């Protein structure tokens, strides 16, 4: 019994690594649309393919896979496979980022560079929240905790800061045109 308790404690402690300098990225936008439309556009395969990605297979359930591909088919090199951790329908969903094998980000000179420290760390998550703020408007926010310090982390943080803004603008354009 003591061995089991010790093993469980070791596992819990290994998962509780605290990084004093951990950063959180937050992007948000106000969109003139409904929560239902935004939820469908971001949590269904058909919705994502309509405005954001070339291919998607989304299993909106706890520990479901959220597969997307920006230019090819699911299963091709470059497939993003996130894991849904939790969700509240029409309100929020949280997932652990799954980086594709060929994930690389622009460095300061525009050259794409791999970031193995970040992709292997497994510490970056995303929480997407959709909130009705009245008068036909909603707020969509993306909060991404888990960023540590160092050059690779800075590059990935900048990549998602710009990328999330671009995707939120695309979502706004799509929803407000409907």
Starting at the earlier edge strand, list the strands of the sheet with 125-134.
23-32, 137-147, 125-134, 92-96, 80-88, 65-69, 55-58
Task: Name which of 121, 72, 114, 116 is nearest 97 in CA terms.
Answer: 121
Q: Flag whether pLDDT at 46 surpasses 80.
A: yes
- pLDDT of 51-71, one tens digit each? 999 999 999 999 999 999 999
Range of the domain at 130: 18-176
46, part of any domain: yes
Q: Flag whether pLDDT at 16 surpasses 90.
A: no
69, part of any domain: yes
2, part of any domain: no
Number of domains in the chain: 1
4, part of any domain: no
What DSSP element (H or E) covers 145? strand 137-147
CATH code, domain carrying 123: 3.30.530.20
């Amino acid at each position: 019994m003591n061995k089991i308790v010790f093993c469980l404690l070791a596992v819990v402690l290994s998962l509780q690594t605290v990084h004093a300098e951990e950063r959180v990225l937050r992007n948000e936008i106000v969109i003139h649309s409904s929560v239902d439309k935004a939820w469908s556009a971001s949590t269904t395969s058909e919705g994502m393919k309509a405005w954001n990605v070339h291919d998607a297979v989304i299993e909106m359930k706890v520990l479901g896979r959220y597969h997307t591909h920006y230019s090819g088919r699911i299963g091709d090199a470059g497939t993003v496979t996130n894991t849904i951790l939790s969700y509240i329908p029409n309100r929020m969903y949280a997932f652990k980022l799954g980086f594709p094998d060929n994930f690389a980000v622009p460095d300061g000179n525009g050259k794409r560079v791999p970031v193995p420290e970040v992709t292997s760390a497994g510490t970056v998550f995303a929480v997407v929240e959709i909130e009705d703020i009245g008068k036909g408007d909603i707020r969509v926010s993306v909060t991404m905790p888990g960023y540590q310090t160092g050059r690779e982390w800075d590059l990935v943080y900048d990549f998602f800061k710009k990328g999330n803004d671009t995707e939120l603008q695309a979502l706004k354009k799509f929803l407000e045109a409907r």
